[in-house]
């Protein structure tokens, strides 16, 4: 009896030993497999990181390129708009100038100088004149071109006011077809002679500072005769002829 019991107790022990060995083997395999997998994952990690970094850099570069392109287009559009406005303004100014020239061509009279500042006016009192100022002064630099204000014939030209006195310096008087005379004084140079026919806008002299003059300017008169003492307000006269002074 005792031997059989002993024999039976050994058999389960062998089975248990075998099961433990199998389990240990399986466990080792699982552990080794997991380790291998971890090792493989660790080996691939730098490559994955590089891929993410490259993708991010590409995305940033694309965004920067798109923004640069948009900025360049915006700048180009602004330049094009500015150029368009400048061209339009230039065209408008040219059209305005052309229209003004066309209107001036239709007018019978013009101012004797083109660019000027008004100084002493008709009728002003002052120690420079024995009587009230007989014309309109146009302040211009010496050597400014003086033009005939209207078509006519030269009746006075020379020093001593062309015969009207030394106060005028070098002077010219033109007789016009409508019974009106125009006078130009304090000239530095006279380019016409008595008896010469001149047209409106024709150069007749250069402005100066001769005679009784306080500075470079052109003294301009409108007269009812060729002689001193018959002057009328030249600005009012030109206004009636459509000329803005």
pLDDT confidence band for 208 (50 / 70 / 90): very high
- What is the average per-residue pLDDT within 177-183? 93
Q: Whole-number mean pLDDT of the chain? A: 82
- What is the average per-residue pLDDT within 48-70? 79
Annotated domain spans of the chain: 61-106, 117-240
pLDDT confidence band for 53 (50 / 70 / 90): confident
Query: Hey, which CATH number is domain 117-240, 3.40.50.740, 2.70.70.10, 1.10.20.10, 3.65.10.10?
Result: 2.70.70.10
- Residue 26 confidence (pLDDT) above 50: no
Q: What pLDDT sits at residue 8? A: 47
Query: pTM score > 0.75 for this model?
Result: no
Using CA atoms, how far residue 18 sits from 8, 25, 105, 172, in Å, is 16, 11, 128, 144
Q: What pLDDT sits at residue 215? A: 93
Q: Which residue has the higher pLDDT, 31 or 73?
A: 73
């Amino acid at each position: 009896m005792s031997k059989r019991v002993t024999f039976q107790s050994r058999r389960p022990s062998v089975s248990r030993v075998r099961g433990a060995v199998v389990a240990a083997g399986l466990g080792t395999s699982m552990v080794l497999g997991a380790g291998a997998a971890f090792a493989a994952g660790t080996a691939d990690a730098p490559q994955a990181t590089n891929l993410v970094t490259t993708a991010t850099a590409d995305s940033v570069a694309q965004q920067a390129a798109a923004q640069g392109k948009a900025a360049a287009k915006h700048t180009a559009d602004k330049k094009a708009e500015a150029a368009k406005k400048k061209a339009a303004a230039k065209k408008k100014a040219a059209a305005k100038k052309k229209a003004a020239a066309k209107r001036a061509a239709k007018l019978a009279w013009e101012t004797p100088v083109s660019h000027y500042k008004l100084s002493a006016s008709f009728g002003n009192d002052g120690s420079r004149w024995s009587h009230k100022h007989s014309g309109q002064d146009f302040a211009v630099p010496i050597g400014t071109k003086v033009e005939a204000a209207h078509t006519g014939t030269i009746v006075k030209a020379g020093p001593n006011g062309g015969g009207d006195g030394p106060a005028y310096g070098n002077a010219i008087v033109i007789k016009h077809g409508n019974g009106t005379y125009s006078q130009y004084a304090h000239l530095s140079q006279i380019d016409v002679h008595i008896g010469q026919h001149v047209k409106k806008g024709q150069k007749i002299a250069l402005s100066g500072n001769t005679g009784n003059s306080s500075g470079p300017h052109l003294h301009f008169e409108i007269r009812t005769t060729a002689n001193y003492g018959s002057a009328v307000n030249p600005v009012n006269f030109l206004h009636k002829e459509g000329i803005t002074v």
